[in-house]
Amino acid sequence: MKKLVALLVVLSFASMACYNTYYISMDQLKELQSAEQGQNKVANTERGKAVEVAPETRLFVRDTDGKKYPVTPYNFKVTQSQLVASDRDYIFMLDQLKDKGEVELLSTWKTVGLITAGAGAVVALIIVTIATAGKKSFSSTGE
């Protein structure tokens, strides 16, 4: 049973990942509403870093209340007053959105660190279990 629990814990970490979030201006976001056939676009972040946006890149907008909405790159339209993402059934007035978008890119090192920490915790739990097997626990009276 313990092996099964350990395996499930390890597998649950495999589905997790860490992302780096980059903020782009609304003008940069407008450039990501369409792409040339088979071409990824590069967006400049607010801090001057260039990030490549592919069709599978995680792209978000936030409303003025702070709620985060995913938007599919190259599959939305920004007009003078609205942002329309028909694949997600979103229609936002631009004045109800914050004036920047968010691009999330997978961070390999953070993800590897998270999985390593999870695996280390499972290994430590197994070692402690083996080391204390057969000994009296604190709940035993010893009499």
Q: Which residue has the tokens 């499972």?
A: 122
Mean pLDDT of the chain: 84
pTM: predicted TM-score of the whole model, two decimal places: 0.69
Q: Which pLDDT belongs to residue 142?
A: 53
Q: Is the pLDDT of residue 11 over 80?
A: no
**In this structure, are residues 35 and 74 in contact, taking their beta carbons and an 8 Å threshold?**
yes
Percent residues over pLDDT 70 in the chain = 81
Distance of CA 7 to the CA centre of its chain: 23
Q: In 32-122, which ranges are E strands?
A: 41-44, 50-53, 58-63, 68-71, 77-78, 82-85, 90-93, 97-106
56-114 pLDDT tens trace: 899 999 999 999 999 999 989 999 999 999 888 999 999 999 989 999 988 888 878 87
User: Distance between CA 143 and CA 141 in Å, rounded?
Assistant: 6
> What is the pLDDT at residue 66?
92
Cα 143 from chain centroid (whole Å): 54
Q: What pLDDT score does 7 carry?
A: 67
pLDDT score of 23: 95
Show me where the domains of the chain are located: 1-18+107-132, 19-106
Q: Which range (18-22, 41-45, 75-79, 113-117) has the least confidence?
A: 113-117
* Structure tokens that stand for 51 in this block: 């990030």
pLDDT of residue 38: 66
What pLDDT is stored for residue 137 in this prediction? 62
* 117 contact partners, CB below 8 Å, separation of at least 6: none
Mean pLDDT of 112-126: 86
Alpha helices in 72-142 (DSSP H): 108-131
